[in-house]
Amino acid sequence: MLSRDERMRLKVSSEVAKIHLENIVSDTFLSDSLPSWMSHIGQQVREVLQTRGKSLDNLQASDSLSASSLPDSAASYNLPVLISAVLRDKPPEEVPLLRITLKELLSQEDRLISRIKALESLAAGSGEEVKLVASQLQLIKVEKNKIEEEKFMKEEEFKNLMKDRDENQVQVEVLRKELEILKAEAKEQKHRLEFQHKLEQMSQTTIKELSLELEKSEMTVRNTQRALELALGNQKKQRAEVHHTLTKHFPTFEELKSFLHLTRQEALQMKLIWQKEVVALQSQLERVAVAATGYHKVLAENRMLYNEVQDLKGNIRVYCRVRPFSVGQSGIQGIVNFIGENGEIFIRNPSKQGKGSCKVFKFNKVYGASISQEEVFQDTRPLIRSVLDGYNVCIFAYGQTGSGKTYTMVSTRIKVYFLKFHLTAPCKRSCEY
Residues engaged in binding ligand ATP (CB under 6 A): 323-324, 326, 399, 401-407
Q: Which amino acid is at 255?
A: E
CB-based burial, 9-25: b 16+ in 10 Å, e otherwise:
bbbebbeebbeebeebb
Question: What minimum distance in Å lies between the beta carbon of 363 and ligand ATP?
Answer: 16
Which residue is closest to ligand ATP by CB?
A: 404
d(CA 223, CA 110): 139
Residue placing its CB nearer to ligand ATP in the complex, 108 or 403: 403
Question: What minimum distance in Å lies between the beta carbon of 329 and ligand ATP?
Answer: 10
Residue placing its CB nearer to ligand ATP in the complex, 343 or 404: 404
d(CA 333, CA 351): 13
Question: What minimum distance in Å lies between the beta carbon of 416 and ligand ATP?
Answer: 17
d(CA 248, CA 242): 9
Residue placing its CB nearer to ligand ATP in the complex, 315 or 412: 412
Residue placing its CB nearer to ligand ATP in the complex, 62 or 401: 401
d(CA 383, CA 391): 9
Residue placing its CB nearer to ligand ATP in the complex, 1 or 327: 327
Residue placing its CB nearer to ligand ATP in the complex, 29 or 367: 367
Residue placing its CB nearer to ligand ATP in the complex, 136 or 406: 406
Kindly list the distances between the CA atom of residue 220 and the CA atoms of 198, 215, 225, in Å, as whole numbers in the listed order. 32, 9, 8
Residue placing its CB nearer to ligand ATP in the complex, 125 or 324: 324
Residue placing its CB nearer to ligand ATP in the complex, 247 or 412: 412
Question: What minimum distance in Å lies between the beta carbon of 370 and ligand ATP?
Answer: 9
Tell me how far the alpha carbon of residue 309 is from its chain's centroid. Answer: 83
Question: What minimum distance in Å lies between the beta carbon of 406 and ligand ATP?
Answer: 3
d(CA 74, CA 113): 9
d(CA 196, CA 193): 5
d(CA 13, CA 120): 9
Question: What minimum distance in Å lies between the beta carbon of 376 and ligand ATP?
Answer: 9
Question: What minimum distance in Å lies between the beta carbon of 309 and ligand ATP?
Answer: 29
Question: What minimum distance in Å lies between the beta carbon of 377 and ligand ATP?
Answer: 12
Q: With left for phi above 0 and alpha for psi between -120 and 50, is residue 343 left, alpha or beta? A: left
Q: How much of the chain is in helix, strand and coil states, percent to nearest 5?
A: 75, 5, 20
| Among the listed residues 389, 428, 424, 394, the one whose alpha carbon sits nearest the alpha carbon of residue 409 | 394
Q: Which residues contact 364 (CB under 8 A, 6 or more apart)?
A: 314, 317, 318, 319, 343
Question: What minimum distance in Å lies between the beta carbon of 306 and ligand ATP?
Answer: 30
Using an 8 Å Cβ cutoff, are 12 and 115 in contact? no
